[in-house]
Chain A
């Protein structure tokens, strides 16, 4: 049976009977995930890491990834898989693409930080993260029927969405180099690395 939303095989089936009326939903795993019908399976840290180690290289592309080396500390992804640890902060940039599925599984689908930002990095919060934060707060405000706050948040979101770029400020006045190894310069490197890997 095909998925109701795409051409993939449907693996998640939901039957609802409301007031005697029956509706059926047949979805593939990814559409079901998107619609929130299923939750990504969680794994314990040890299982996750064990899986990282066991996963064989299925294609030439993965092999290239395994030999990709962090310019800063010299770690390869194969070494990271073996150790279960990264070698330096630059590794997060270098292996961003390979780390994403692991992070999704370890952190309930999340791939972006939403919490505290060092004061020195003030003003360079990722726009995407900020938008996510506001959307989530908006949802909470609506759920709590706090419409005044919801309206404020909606306006802030609206302003942000109309803004072209808010991430150009790096650091605050006291810290001209910006936040440690973070800062806007890092986002540019993210793009570079990911672009290179797509070649």
Chain B
């Protein structure tokens, strides 16, 4: 087994299952809390010794949190394992690439993770499928209370939870949703969403969050302001204003395509299906782009003979680390393109 070091099965990640409320457009809901431990300098200023102390503190405490978390020292697992964790959104790209003492504690169902020594000492995050922000907040807030009962957080009356970067200070909260916006892209409206997001002090990012490109029409929308608002206010804005308006916008783009450009839309969807079920070599980016169109076709009932769960699962399985895990060995890029095309044809029953 190539990921023998990871203490959990390579079962599918629940967040990409295509379930949960409004799942056709809101793929998943995520909340992270940035926290630092009192008595230590922030990570960027901490010595190796101090970083190690933080890692061992969390390694020792985390098995008792949230009904039992598993701690992974990222310096003791393979690069493929770290990639797998990134693809499941359990760690960030920066955390995957790091070399200094760092780790991650993962909850039993893989919806919860606590990154240790990322930009802040602790980054607690919870991820669920569909639009479930309020449930996610309730969950992560509970875990935060549990952690706080055992660990002194850096907190100031005036500035709130103190974070390495002043743009996270206060609540330390980042609320984000992963949105699937293929119709807005097909209608050339994505830039308008980007501008509207900026006007509302929100950030629109790619598939893997900060610094990543949008792949397969998947975008992450998240708050930028963390100070001067309560967690509930930030959440309310998302749940009551932001998400409904983006969902409505994507829906109207879908309706407009269905009513006015149905031929074009069907062609896009069926071409995607044709390529996915015929290609012999395919890259991750192309696969995600085509799967996105097939997903849209399924949501609009343009395709009916396709297993929706298989399409959603492929969004994760076609990524490099998952693909290598499924095949059971490490592969170079060229070999992966062949294996990916084969896997997709197999899973789509072609």
Chain A positions near chain B (C-beta within 8 angstroms) = 42, 44-45, 48, 72-73, 75, 83-89, 92-93, 96, 99, 102-103, 106-121, 124-126, 128-129, 133, 167, 179-184, 186-187, 190
Residue among B154, B165, B167 facing the most chain A CB atoms (10 A cut-off): B167
Known contacts A113-B169, A133-B230, then 13 further A-B pairs from the complex at CB < 8 Å, ordered by chain A residue: A44-B224, A89-B42, A109-B228, A110-B225, A110-B227, A110-B228, A113-B171, A114-B229, A115-B229, A119-B148, A124-B157, A129-B158, A181-B155
Instruction: Tell me, rounded to whole Å, the shortest Cβ–Cβ distance linking B95 to chain A.
Output: 16
Q: Can you report 12 A-B residue pairs in the complex whose CB atoms are below 8 A from each other?
A: A86-B162, A87-B45, A96-B158, A103-B166, A106-B224, A111-B228, A116-B161, A121-B157, A125-B157, A167-B157, A179-B153, A181-B155
Instruction: Tell me, rounded to whole Å, the shortest Cβ–Cβ distance linking A179 to chain B.
Output: 5
Report the separation of the CA atoms of residues A120 and B157 in the bound assembly, to the nearest whole angstrom: 12
Query: Looking at chain B's contact residues, is the secondary structure mostly helix, strand, loop, or mixed?
Result: loop
B148/A113 in contact, CB under 8 A: no
Q: Per a CB cutoff under 8 Å, which of B145, B156, B171, B227 touches A186?
A: B156
Report the separation of the CA atoms of residues A126 and B141 in the bound assembly, to the nearest whole angstrom: 21
By a CB distance below 8 angstroms, the chain A residues around B63 are: none
B42/A87 in contact, CB under 8 A: yes
Residue on A with the closest CB to B199? Answer: A42
A182/B157 in contact, CB under 8 A: yes
A106/B167 in contact, CB under 8 A: yes
Contact A103-B155, Cβ < 8 Å, known A87-B42, A88-B41, A88-B45: no
Contact A112-B158, Cβ < 8 Å, known A106-B167, A107-B228: yes
Q: Per a CB cutoff under 8 Å, which of A96, A110, A111, A121 touches B155?
A: A121
Contact A120-B229, Cβ < 8 Å, known A92-B159, A110-B170, A115-B160: no
Q: Per a CB cutoff under 8 Å, which of A73, A83, A92, A126 touches B162?
A: A92
B160/A48 in contact, CB under 8 A: no
Within 8 A of A (CB), among B78-102: none
Within 8 A of A (CB), among B224-238: 224-231, 233
Within 8 A of A (CB), among B117-176: 119, 141, 144-145, 148-149, 152-162, 164-167, 169-171, 173
Interface presence of B212 (CB below 8 A): no
B158/A187 in contact, CB under 8 A: yes
B228/A182 in contact, CB under 8 A: no
Interface presence of B326 (CB below 8 A): no
A75/B157 in contact, CB under 8 A: no
By a CB distance below 8 angstroms, the chain A residues around B225 are: 106-108, 110
Residue on A with the closest CB to B157? Answer: A126
A75/B45 in contact, CB under 8 A: yes
By a CB distance below 8 angstroms, the chain A residues around B160 are: 113-116
Report the separation of the CA atoms of residues A122 and B161 in the bound assembly, to the nearest whole angstrom: 14
Residue among B38, B39, B173 facing the most chain A CB atoms (10 A cut-off): B38
By a CB distance below 8 angstroms, the chain B residues around A115 are: 160, 170-171, 173, 229-231
By a CB distance below 8 angstroms, the chain B residues around A116 are: 141, 144, 160-161, 171, 230-231
Residue on B with the closest CB to A126? Answer: B157
Q: Per a CB cutoff under 8 Å, which of A86, A114, A118 touches B228?
A: A114
By a CB distance below 8 angstroms, the chain B residues around A86 are: 42, 162, 164-166
By a CB distance below 8 angstroms, the chain A residues around B330 are: none
Report the separation of the CA atoms of residues A129 and B203 in the bound assembly, to the nearest whole angstrom: 27
| Binary flags per residue of B15-39, CB closer than 8 Å to A gives 1, else 0 | 0000000000000000000001011
By a CB distance below 8 angstroms, the chain A residues around B285 are: none
By a CB distance below 8 angstroms, the chain A residues around B152 are: 120, 179-180
Instruction: Tell me, rounded to whole Å, the shortest Cβ–Cβ distance linking B162 to chain A.
Output: 4
Report the separation of the CA atoms of residues A99 and B44 in the bound assembly, to the nearest whole angstrom: 18
| Binary flags per residue of B310-348, CB closer than 8 Å to A gives 1, else 0 | 000000000000000000000000000000000000000
Report the separation of the CA atoms of residues A167 and B158 in the bound assembly, to the nearest whole angstrom: 12
Contact A89-B166, Cβ < 8 Å, known A113-B159, A115-B171, A179-B155: no
B154/A180 in contact, CB under 8 A: yes
Residue on B with the closest CB to A181? Answer: B38
Contact A117-B229, Cβ < 8 Å, known A106-B166, A106-B224: no
| Binary flags per residue of B161-198, CB closer than 8 Å to A gives 1, else 0 | 11011110111010000000000000000000000001
Report the separation of the CA atoms of residues A102 and B226 in the bound assembly, to the nearest whole angstrom: 13
Q: Per a CB cutoff under 8 Å, which of A88, A96, A133, A181 touches B42?
A: A88
Report the separation of the CA atoms of residues A93 and B173 in the bound assembly, to the nearest whole angstrom: 21
Interface presence of B5 (CB below 8 A): no
By a CB distance below 8 angstroms, the chain A residues around B154 are: 89, 180-182
B228/A113 in contact, CB under 8 A: yes
Contact A85-B171, Cβ < 8 Å, known A118-B148, A121-B155: no
Report the separation of the CA atoms of residues A74 and B161 in the bound assembly, to the nearest whole angstrom: 21
Report the separation of the CA atoms of residues A133 and B159 in the bound assembly, to the nearest whole angstrom: 14
Instruction: Tell me, rounded to whole Å, the shortest Cβ–Cβ distance linking B124 to chain A.
Output: 12
A84/B169 in contact, CB under 8 A: no
B45/A73 in contact, CB under 8 A: yes
By a CB distance below 8 angstroms, the chain B residues around A87 are: 41-42, 44-45
Q: Per a CB cutoff under 8 Å, which of A85, A103, A120 touches B227?
A: A103
